[in-house]
Amino acid sequence: MKKNILFAVAVLVVAGVLALWGAQRGAGAQAVVSVADGQTQRIPLSQDGLYSIEGAPFPVTLEVKEGAIRFVDSQCPDHICENFGWLSKEYDQAICAPAGVVVSIEEG
């Protein structure tokens, strides 16, 4: 009985530590948006909103919401980038090849 209680307490402590680590981890995350013409833009994932990317062959719009970013609109022919979904973890990446736009996540 005593071992079960100690095990349950240990599991709760580990879960609490992991939850705190995950909450702090996203605090300084940002999206690095690279455009084929050499421009780079950094977008903090803490600022919700829509962002238009200039300098691409096709207009691209990105949305930031609740610590994540995604392609919401691209005027390219295939729209594959719009299906990548939300990016929020370090090293997540989405690309709109026809527009020449790459979105990567970096921790602050």
pLDDT score of 102 more than 50: yes
What mean pLDDT value characterizes the chain? 83
- Token digits for 94? 């989405």
Among 20, 17, 43, residue whose Cα is nearest residue 106: 43
Residue 40: Cβ-neighbour burial (10 angstroms; 0-12, 13-18, 19+): exposed
Phi/psi for 28 (5° steps) reads: -110, 20
Domain made up of 29-106: CATH architecture? Sandwich (2.60)
Mean pLDDT of 1-7: 56
Give the type of residue at 43: I
* pTM for the full predicted model: 0.73
